Chains A and B, each alone.
Chain A
Amino acid sequence: MASATVAAPASASPGLALLRRAFGDARTRTLSFLALFFLYAWMQAVGYRDAYPTLAARLDFARSFAGNDALRLFYGYPYNPVDVGGYCAWRVGGVLAIVAGAYGLLGAVRALRAEEEAGRLELVLAGTIGRQRAYLASLGAVGAGIVLLWLAETLGLLAGGLPLGGSAYLALATVSVAAVFAGVGALVSQLAPTRRLALEISSGVLVLCLLLRAIADASHSLDWLRWATPLGWAEQLRPFTGQQPAALVALAACSAVLVAIAGRLARSRDLGSGLLPARDTAAPRTRLLGSTLAHAVREERTSLAIWVLGAGGYGLVLGLVSSSISSAGISPAMRRELKLLGSGSITTPRGYLSLIFIFFVLTVSLFACAQVAAAHREESEQRLDTLLSLPVGRSRWLAERLALACGGAVLIALASGAMTWLGAAWEGVPVTLMQMLEAGANCLPAGLLFLGLAALAYALLPRASGALAYGLVTVAFLWELLGSVVRAPSWLLKLTPFAHIGFVPERPFQLGAALVMLGGGLAGALAAVVLLRRRDIGGG
């Protein structure tokens, strides 16, 4: 038996083994993002070609939208919306760059700070691998994911009939943002002592970069701000429209510098801590400790504040730029087209705001998923065992968490409405506070429907619940954006809750649909609260 004691290691290099593990750890997320990148790129290319087959139609489209500042808030600046490539550079590049940024920071924080916080990095570093190599191997896993995203987007564009060179270049412009935000995530992972704080800070950076791009794209005097945000650099690459590869240098350099600084910090600090001053001792503050609900509020309040501020801040900018919307450049044919799409009149500031509030519906829905994920973490990190060993029923506990999520959703929705009104009123757009609060409240039925469904997923399949909940919201939203572009049959289009939201205040509130969604959400939540009684909690 003695000869068997020296077994060959499974992998020759510990760095490679670590990279593989980190990559495998993120596989569900990576696969979802790959699917999203491929499908979104492909459907946008196909959809545009089908919807605007002739040059005349495209010119009409361009006249309507190219001059429309407010639309650029989400999609970026359209340099050439009259050919498929230029359209994709605008719509695909503009949106997926934000998603790519999220992928980069989520991946880096997960591979670095979360591993360290859980104590697994300590175990790894006790082995034969050095700090620097462990750091690079963990980031390497994120890098591998980014390369795959690049492939997926390129293939999606190719499938949509675009040429190889331009597709690869556009995909590169998109994923280079992921590389920069992987650097941001890596750096913040050195600063923040917990995964949660690291995610909050780096998402804050992403939202700020997005706001800068939105302002630069929408305002002619401030367009130099585009150079202040990596999302702007990706735009400056101008895929399919007079390519300017020089901006790639900025992206690559920024990513490299961030990664290098973070690597240096990773080498020189104490393991298990962050560089931000964190006080490990404090006099007891007993506020919000009197009950499980109060304690949940205490745990979630920072996160909630970030959601409210983020949504409110975006609402303010939307309100400010909405005044630039006018019907001057939009042809009657295009107006008919927009009417067919059910968007109401996007050609007035009020119509634009009504339409754009669908993004706040998405925000509230994602917040709902995040709240259910936070509840799930209480269980997976075994703190729920401790709570439930006290005289606290699990149904009651989940009901409280869902009530808290509801309250948070209401705050976010109303803050979006109020701040949008503030911005719009500042610029003299004729909307009332009541109207915009109504638009905000109109986000709630769909958001609460997703809250109920996410809760149900948690009660039934706790481990898969995060992927299910976020996946459902993403698919439903993309279907709303893309379904009409690819001209799907109307019954298919109606499958997504987003299709049943009235564009308040331009269009009437859809009371019937709202009641159905609220009923569905309530049914899901009640079922979750009851079904949680039937399964094992934690550990198994």
Chain B
Amino acid sequence: MDDDRDPEKLTDMASQTTDAPAQTAPPPGRGDVAIRTSGLCKRYGATVAIADLDLEIARGEVYGYLGPNGAGKTTTIRLLLGLHRPSAGRAELFGVDAWREPVAAHRRVAYVAGEPFLWPSLTGAETLELLASVRGGVDVAYRKTLLERFQLDTDKKVRALSKGNRQKVQLVAALSSRADLLLLDEPTAGLDPLMEVAFRESVREASERGQTVFLSSHILSEVEALCDRVGILKQGRLVDQGTLAQLRHLSAQTVEVTFAGEAPTLPELSGVEVQRAGANSLRLEVTGPIAPVITALDGLPVLELTSREPSLEEVFLHHYDGTGSDG
């Protein structure tokens, strides 16, 4: 049955912390995995929204889930929450099947929806109160800190709040729950840059406390700043996954060389793609070792040489510009 409630509903809401949900302790050996999906598929009629998704996210990880609009990020989260039924495969949160036992799974999860729809007639404070008491506990002291950090006027009714402010209500509710796993669906859409800073601070705090964060986003700088590991979703498929260092390694390093006078023609080098970047400069995309490039440039009139790692944006675009379609 999905409708058993936690019999030990806490009345003292201030005292609850998230580290001891004893009654839902995962079986030994599986406790290190917060999210696991295997062969997860979701079709809506003829449309394939998610195809054969295998994710494994360890406890304490901050995982960035990247993809443009319509790639299937929200569908993935709906499947993780057990709101939509998998067409094939399964999704587990802390070893608990998300579709079959959503209530048990949700005891350790807090969710921020991409579209902040809440009850228009409740104020922010009332909404927080409702969500906290239905959850069965909240860290009141931390909630106070968050309210100050996000500068939220909790006396305003939801119907009078802007999208960004409604988003803040959701964020405060989720973060103050101290849940083991935060499922955040594009949580900063609608937040201003100052609040983006507050958000990043809060995610770092959550990470330091050992909470797992699943951050769906298309804001690359945010993911780059926060996440230990990144998955890139394209048309419902995970096309790349790894730490930022790993992802960068797979992509080219960019070397730009400016010469005194017209740029010469370099000899053919394996793993190096040469493009003309102006009359006097070349851009080299280096996928292999850098040493042959240095050797080739030796003795040439080099004025300026810059080398940089690819940004996440370049990694991302690599998968989306059509050339790297098979990841």
Write the residues of chain A forming the contact surface with B, with a CB cutoff of 8 angstroms.
Answer: 193-194, 279-286, 289-292, 295, 299, 381-383, 385-396, 399, 533-540
Q: Are B134 and A383 within 8 A (Cβ)?
A: no
Q: Are B160 and A281 within 8 A (Cβ)?
A: yes
Q: Are B113 and A193 within 8 A (Cβ)?
A: no
Q: Are B103 and A389 within 8 A (Cβ)?
A: no
Q: Are B5 and A282 within 8 A (Cβ)?
A: no
- CB A275 to nearest CB in B, in angstroms, measures 16
Contact indicator per residue, chain B 116-158, by CB within 8 Å of chain A (1) or not (0): 0111111101100111011110000000000000000111110
The answer to the question of B175 belonging to the interface, with a C-beta cut-off of 8 Å to chain A, is no
Q: Are A395 and B156 within 8 A (Cβ)?
A: no
> Which residue of chain B lies nearest to A382 when distances are taken between CB atoms in the complex?
B117
The answer to the question of B305 belonging to the interface, with a C-beta cut-off of 8 Å to chain A, is no
- The CA-CA distance from A385 to B102 in the complex, in Å, is 12
Kindly name the residue among A194, A389, A534 whose own CB sees the greatest number of chain B CB atoms within 10 A: A389
Task: Name the A residues within 8 Å of B135 (CB-CB).
Answer: 390-391
- The CA-CA distance from A493 to B44 in the complex, in Å, is 42
Q: Are B2 and A539 within 8 A (Cβ)?
A: no
- CB B66 to nearest CB in A, in angstroms, measures 20
Task: Name the A residues within 8 Å of B160 (CB-CB).
Answer: 280-281
| Cβ contacts A to B, 29 pairs, < 8 Å | A280-B156, A281-B155, A284-B125, A284-B129, A284-B154, A289-B122, A290-B133, A291-B133, A295-B130, A299-B119, A382-B113, A382-B117, A385-B81, A385-B113, A386-B113, A387-B134, A388-B81, A388-B83, A388-B102, A389-B110, A391-B5, A391-B136, A393-B4, A394-B102, A536-B84, A536-B85, A537-B84, A539-B74, A539-B78
8 Å CB contact of A289 from B4, B133, B157: B133
- CB A532 to nearest CB in B, in angstroms, measures 10
8 Å CB contact of B159 from A194, A381, A385: A194
- The CA-CA distance from A167 to B3 in the complex, in Å, is 57
Q: Are A540 and B117 within 8 A (Cβ)?
A: no
Q: Are A395 and B2 within 8 A (Cβ)?
A: yes
A382-B113, A385-B113 are contacts. A299–B121 as well, Cβ < 8 Å? yes
- The CA-CA distance from A104 to B107 in the complex, in Å, is 47
8 Å CB contact of A391 from B106, B123, B154, B183: B106
The answer to the question of B65 belonging to the interface, with a C-beta cut-off of 8 Å to chain A, is no
Task: Name the A residues within 8 Å of B94 (CB-CB).
Answer: none
Kindly name the residue among A383, A396, A540 whose own CB sees the greatest number of chain B CB atoms within 10 A: A540
- The CA-CA distance from A284 to B124 in the complex, in Å, is 8
- The CA-CA distance from A389 to B214 in the complex, in Å, is 15
Task: Name the A residues within 8 Å of B316 (CB-CB).
Answer: none
Q: Are A386 and B117 within 8 A (Cβ)?
A: yes
- The CA-CA distance from A193 to B280 in the complex, in Å, is 65
> Which residue of chain A lies nearest to B105 when distances are taken between CB atoms in the complex?
A391
Task: Name the A residues within 8 Å of B125 (CB-CB).
Answer: 284
Q: Are B129 and A286 within 8 A (Cβ)?
A: yes
Q: Are A285 and B113 within 8 A (Cβ)?
A: no
- CB A325 to nearest CB in B, in angstroms, measures 45
Task: Name the B residues within 8 Å of A279 (CB-CB).
Answer: 157
> Which residue of chain A lies nearest to B83 when distances are taken between CB atoms in the complex?
A537
Q: Are B44 and A389 within 8 A (Cβ)?
A: no
The answer to the question of B115 belonging to the interface, with a C-beta cut-off of 8 Å to chain A, is yes
The answer to the question of B109 belonging to the interface, with a C-beta cut-off of 8 Å to chain A, is yes
A193-B159, A383-B118, A538-B83 are contacts. A393–B134 as well, Cβ < 8 Å? no
Task: Name the A residues within 8 Å of B291 (CB-CB).
Answer: none
> Which residue of chain B lies nearest to A283 when distances are taken between CB atoms in the complex?
B155
Q: Are A386 and B118 within 8 A (Cβ)?
A: yes
Task: Name the B residues within 8 Å of A387 (CB-CB).
Answer: 134
Task: Name the A residues within 8 Å of B121 (CB-CB).
Answer: 299
Q: Are B106 and A389 within 8 A (Cβ)?
A: yes
A194-B120, A194-B159 are contacts. A393–B83 as well, Cβ < 8 Å? no
8 Å CB contact of A533 from B2, B118, B123, B130: B2
8 Å CB contact of B130 from A193, A289, A395: A289
Task: Name the A residues within 8 Å of B107 (CB-CB).
Answer: 391
- CB B144 to nearest CB in A, in angstroms, measures 14
